[in-house]
Structure formats: C-alpha cells, structure tokens
Amino acid sequence: MATGSVLETVTAEEARRVIDAAAAKATEIGQPMDIAVVDAGGNLKAHLRMDGANIGSITIAINKAYTAIAFQQETAGLQEATRPDGPIFGLSEAHGGRLVVFPGGIPLVRDGSIMGAIGVSTGTVEQDQEVASAGAAAY
C-alpha cells in the first residue's frame, strides 16, 4: 500500500455538528431544509432532508456546497458577477449545470484553510443563507 497523507478535510463528526446546528436554526425559523456538507474535494460528506423539505432541493443543497468549495467563497458572493450584465454571466451552466450562484453555500474554514462547505436549500434565499450561516458557525 502506498504511503502518504490524505487531504485534510471536515470529519464526519464535524459534518454532523454543522448539520445539527443548521437543522436547529431551520426548526427555529419554521422552515424545513435540505442541508448538505461536502469535504474539501467537493464530495458529499453528509446530508439531511428534514421532514417537509423539498425533494428537488436535495441536489441544489449539495451543489451549493460544491460551488462554495469550487470557488472558495460563499455562493452569495457570486450573484452580481453572474447576472446577465455581469462579467461571468453563464457561470451557472459550467460544470454541467452543477454550479449554484445564489445564497446558501458557505465554506467551512479551520485555521485559515477551507476544509469543506455547507449548502442549504428549500427556503427563500435569505432563509437558506441564515441556516447555512448557523451551520458554518458551528464548525
């Protein structure tokens, strides 16, 4: 077997803590959510579809988290630049349509390094961002 190190990333325990905090916020605001955590490579680490959350939002939550990793920033930060008159309009169609360029995706940062990301979907974009922020704060 080869020796070496695996990319440092969010642990399963940390992913559960992030999801639990996000779910608590979603419950507090009365909006069931799809909540996803991806690792540093953008691969799904954990997911929760709360009772009543939209089935169609599962993929959106995962893709918001992926986008936050791919661009190393909150997905909310991509909104202006990707509007029809923006310099990177059409970005959301890149990666086979996997990129999501509206609020609800936030990198999970430890000691200045991105270790994963959370993505949240089902509510309004404001609710998605609020719940994602609560999850990220628990990391």
Residue type present at position 134: A
By three-state DSSP, how is residue 24 classified? helix
pLDDT tens string 22-41: 999 999 999 999 999 999 99
2 pLDDT tier (thresholds 50, 70, 90)? low
Cβ atoms 5, 95 nearer than 8 A: no
pLDDT per residue over 54-77, tens digit each? Answer: 999 999 999 999 999 999 999 999
Residue 105: which of 137, 80, 138, 136 has the closest Cα?
A: 136
pLDDT at 5 over 90: no
Look at the pTM and tell me if it is higher than 0.85.
Answer: yes
Q: Rounded to the nearest 5 degrees, what angle is found at the Cα of 77, between the Cα atoms of 102 and 94?
A: 60
Task: Please state, rounded to an integer, the average pLDDT across all residues of the chain.
Answer: 93
The number of residues in the chain equals 139
pLDDT at 1 over 70: no
Going along the chain from its start, the domains and CATH numbers come out as: 12-75+104-137 (3.30.450.150)
pLDDT (average), residues 90-106? 89
